[in-house]
Structure 1
Amino acid sequence: MKEFKRKFCPNCGSDDIKWALPQNWSLWECYNCGYTGAVVIEDEEMAKEIREKYKKEKSHDD
């Protein structure tokens, strides 16, 4: 049985990311920050660092 790795947004680190079009596997959309692109992260530790940085930057913007 094939094991699927979780995918994370490279912009905000969220795992709320899905294929924008299931027919086009190279385009992803993040439902947390609105990122759309071909790059996704599969490393959970890296995603955690991205998420912390994103939250810190977001709090400075408010």
Structure 2
Amino acid sequence: MNRAKPQLFNVLDANGQVIYQGTINGCSHWVDLHARGKICVERVRRSLRKKEAAHAY
């Protein structure tokens, strides 16, 4: 059985810095517990994910 990889999402602060990355459920849970001020949640683009995986050490 071939399972799809879970979609990754970033939680960004007001300055656009990634402060958390995970599944949508994980991001939602993190926001409920830790969010202070303005934040944004957006889906991680696949091309970035592939680049990060290629350069991870």
**Larger helix fraction of residues:** 2
Normalised to the residue count of structure 2, the TM-score between the two structures is 0.31
Normalised to the residue count of structure 1, the TM-score between the two structures is 0.30
